[in-house]
Amino acid sequence: MKTSFLLLSRLVLGLWTSWPGIVMPNNWKCFKDIIEKSSKELISLKVALAVSPNYILKGYRITNNLKIRVVFDACFR
């Protein structure tokens, strides 16, 4: 039980440190809007600008993990 609590608290602290806006309800609305628009093949300008130029210029493959990180960076920072 103690181990589970420590693991969960470290996970929450790590997420909050990386993305401090994760606790704000307006940021979750942004997250939901981006997910809805991406399902319709529309890309938000905010998300497009959050992609690092290195990924575009060097031709890196954009994986699912990178997509999640970009959306979180766009909404929660």
Each residue's pLDDT, cut to its tens digit, for the chain (77 residues) gives: 889 999 999 998 888 888 888 888 888 888 888 778 777 777 766 666 666 677 667 666 777 777 778 778 878 87
pTM for this entry: 0.60
Count of structural domains, the chain: 1
Per-residue exposure over 27-43, b if at least 16 CB sit within 10 Å of its own CB, e if not: beebbeebeeeeeeeee
| Domain membership of residue 63 as a residue range | 2-76
Question: How far apart, in Å, are the Cα atoms of 28 and each of 4, 35, 59, 74?
Answer: 26, 11, 30, 11
